[in-house]
A and B are shown apart, each in its own frame.
Chain A
Amino acid sequence: MESDPSEAVVPDMTHARLRPCWLSTLEIKPGMVLAKPVSAVSGGYATMSLPAGVTIAEETIGQMIVKGIECVAVLNTEPMDAQDYAVATQAYEARLQQIFGPQRTEHCQALLDALLIRGPMPC
Chain B
Amino acid sequence: MLNSENLAHAVAVMARKLPPFPTIVIQLLDMLRNDSVTLEVLARMARNDPIISANILAQANHMRRIHAQSDLTDAFVAASIIGINRVRRIVVTTGMNRFVSSVPGGLFLFQHSVAVAIAAQELAEFSGESQDLAYISGMLHDVGQLCLNMLDERAFEKVYMDASVDGKLMEREAAVFGVDHCAVGAQLARHWNLPEQIYSAILNHHDEETVTCPLQAAICLSETIVRALDLPASPKNRVTLINQHAVAELGLDWSDPGMADLFDRCVTRFRLAIQPQQGSHA
Which residues of chain A have a CB within 8 Å of any CB of chain B?
Answer: 19, 22-24, 26-27, 29-30, 36, 58, 61-62, 65-68, 70-71, 73, 95-96, 99-101, 104-105, 107-108, 110-115, 117-118, 121
Contact = CB atoms under 8 A, between A and B. Distances in A.
Contact of A118 (B59, B67, B263): B263
A115 B238 contact: no
Interface residues of B, number: 37
A71 B85 CA distance: 13
Nearest to A29: B66
A71 B86 contact: no
B83 interface: yes
A71 B67 contact: no
B240 A108 contact: yes
A114 B260 contact: yes
Given A26-B62, A114-B260, A121-B264, A65 B254 contact: no
A115 B66 contact: no
Contacts of B224: 111
A60 to B, nearest CB: 12
Contacts of A99: 227-228, 230, 237-239
A117 B80 CA distance: 40
B83 A66 contact: yes
B231 to A, nearest CB: 11
B244 interface: yes
Given A26-B63, A107-B247, A118-B263, A65 B82 contact: yes
B268 A24 contact: yes
A108 B239 contact: yes
B257 to A, nearest CB: 9
Interface in B236-257: 237-242, 244, 247, 254-255
A114 B261 contact: no
Nearest to B227: A99
B265 A70 contact: yes
B84 interface: yes
Given A19-B260, A111-B239, A121-B264, 6 more contacts: A22-B265, A24-B268, A26-B82, A67-B83, A73-B264, A101-B239
